Structure 1
Amino acid sequence: MNNERGIVNDGAYGPFIHDSPFIIHHSQFIMLTFPENSVTAVILGNMQDAGLPHAGCTCGRCMAAFDDPSRVQYAACLGIVDRRRNAELRGEGAEGRRERARVYLIDATPDIKFQLNLLAGALGPHPQRANRLRQPDGIFLTHAHMGHIGGLPQLSKEAMFVNGLPVYATPTLCDLLQQTSLWSPLVAELDFRPMPGGASVDLGEGLAVTAVPVPHRDEWGVGTVAFHIQGPSKSLLYLPDIDAWEQWPDAENRLGSVDTALVDASFYNPDELGGRAPVAHPLVTDTIARFGHLADRLVLTHFNHTNPVLDAGSAAETAVRRAGFRMARTGQMFIL
């Protein structure tokens, strides 16, 4: 059913009005469609690495999601869809030349199979395999934590079976994946392209992605990056993980230099961890206090399942909204 108002049932958030009317519903399956002749960034997930529900959790939010699939939320992920005519790749079809979009993912999450299906309309059918989607044109990895690389095994021959799929990551992360024997069958099907901090990948016709180093816990010494995406008209910074704003002196300049910044909002306050040791992420309250003057361009993402902003109408969600900040919603689009 074509939803002309673009209303999405995004689970714990309840219905919201989408930025543009490009949502098609099929029961629990949502296919996204994208405006022609445009580059679009789209949110494919907004949760911390483990998503919602969280494995082994019996909190109210997680139990509600176990009971009601419409409340499930995917791990944080961003898609980039380029539907410009002069940038599209072309192939032969029964009706002559057919156009298709170029599609990229930022991070390969444990929910990647669902996130790829959100992009089914943009990916289109596989050119040789019946009942299969075409593989994306590239994946950019921010870092090595499980919510950001945990979907890579879904690309192996046991699942999607990609071939020569470009994967952009820091040189040390590329090395780690290639040198870990557990990954060796998958590595043969991927085309690793090292992307040091500060490096840019030109995706053509005014679309470029630049790796921006950020401080984040780094058990393997492979680094963490945000990605600055420069489109033909607008720019976006994707920053799902950072330890603390004060550890990144360039934070205000970076956030203030883009049209939209999707930023780490894992925890609202320190009371969420139930006595566990603090986890290195900036609190939403701190982000609001520091960057209230940038509220019109900041979008909060990467929510932990404990975060009270997930509850519509809660004091936390109300405080975020009144401060002028937006919260990432699956399906939300930004024209670049």
Structure 2
Amino acid sequence: MNKKEKSWAEGVTAVILGTMQDGGLPHIGCRCAHCQAAEAQPQYAACLAIVDGRQTPPGVYLLDATPDIKHQLNLLADVLGPHSTRPNRLRQLDAIFLTHAHMGHIGGLPQLGPEAMAVQDLPVYAAPLLIDLLQEARVWRPMVNGLALRPLHPHQPISLAPNLTITPIPVPHRDEWGVGTFAFHVQGPGKSLLYLPDIDAWTLWAETAVLDTVDYALVDASFWSNDELGGRTAVAHPLVPDTLVRFAHIPGQLVLTHLNHTNPLLNIESVSYMQTCRAGVQIARLGQDFPL
């Protein structure tokens, strides 16, 4: 266990396991400069782990199950520890919380099925209509049989351990299946965090004041500009410059995540990157952690 992983096993810590939009980096079928440069060092889809080192073994909870989940779990190998009966295997997570139904947030669930990790009674928390959607998908039935699906309800906290709760907060976001989207408010024994990787627009959300109340706010930074879409119709996400202006009063609390592969923030020499740094706002990094 390295020094950073050892710190994760002490107290309660949020750990960034991915920072990208659903498709990750490199993006499938893309030969842009960002994607070509990332071939040697890929970046994973947005994901957050909550590690409770007060327990033995540590409690490990995942916010979203991305298509990169097998790599992301390996980042937690030392805090997960070995499986009790399967040689050379990691023990399974203590729970997964799903924000919504898009590919980058549930696309890793099949890796938990009998063809791969073969979990047993793994608690997976999701909106009731998302649970229905998962149960109705016949192709996923073998995987679903290994899950303990548990409903989330708006503003009703789930207690993970003493002084550690996760509370779902509804947010407006593109919803093809009508199952809803949550942000997650994580309250630890000392600090709090908001995890909000997807939202259509800040102006459509009546609860933006919650950002003023948390110590860390990991928020949707998919696009810097609509020009990134190459003439295609704009996708509903707040643009980063608008986010910087709207929350200019709390720059130290903001952490930008869920970056599209076109986002100039991926280039540390870009004007956009330097502008964000001058504003005092962080850009999420793989392995970055936040004590709670």
Alpha-carbon contact 1:46-1:303 (below 8 Å) kept? yes
Deviation digits for residues 196-233 of structure 1 (CA, Å, limit 9, x no counterpart): 22121101110000000000000000000000000000
What residue number does 1:231 align with?
A: 188
Say if 2:80 is the partner of 1:78: no
Match of 2:243 in 1: 287
- TM-score of the pair, normalised by structure 1: 0.85
Asked if the contact 1:34/1:122 (under 8 Å) is kept, the reply is no
The 3-state SS of whatever aligns with 1:329 is: coil
Mean Cα displacement is larger for which, 197-206 or 274-283? 197-206
Calculate percent identity across the aligned residue pairs: 61
Residue pair 1:214, 1:248 contacting (<8 A) in 2 also = yes
1:1-336 matches, within 5 Å, as: 21-22=3-4, 32-66=5-39, 68=40, 70=41, 72-84=42-54, 88=55, 99-251=56-208, 253-336=209-292
Question: What is the identity, as a one-letter code, of the residue corresponding to 1:78?
Answer: L
Distance 1:263 1:311 in 2: 19
SS in 1 for 2:249: helix
Amino acid at match of 1:196: H
SS at match of 2:160: strand
State the 1:35 CA deviation. Answer: 4.1
Q: Alpha-carbon deviation of 1:64?
A: 1.6
Separation of aligned partners in 1, 2:283 and 2:142? 38
Gaps of 5+ in 1: 3-20, 23-31, 89-98
Structure 1 SS opposite 2:48: strand
Structure with greater strand share of residues: 1
2:47 and 2:282 map into 1 onto residues whose CA distance is: 17
CA distance in 1, matches of 2:286, 2:234: 28
Task: Say if 1:189 and 1:35 are closer, same or farther in 2 by CA, change over 3 A.
Answer: closer
For residues 242 and 114 of structure 1, the distance between their equivalents in structure 2, rounded to whole angstroms, comes to: 26
Moved >6 Å (runs of 4+): none
1:293 is paired with a residue whose SS is coil
Q: Report how far residue 36 of structure 1 moved.
A: 4.3
| Structure 2: segments with no counterpart, 5+ residues | none
What RMSD over aligned residues (CA atoms) do the two structures have, in Å? 1.1
- Higher alpha-carbon Rg: 1
The separation in 1 between residues aligned to 2:102 and 2:80, in whole angstroms, is 26
Aligned residues: 292
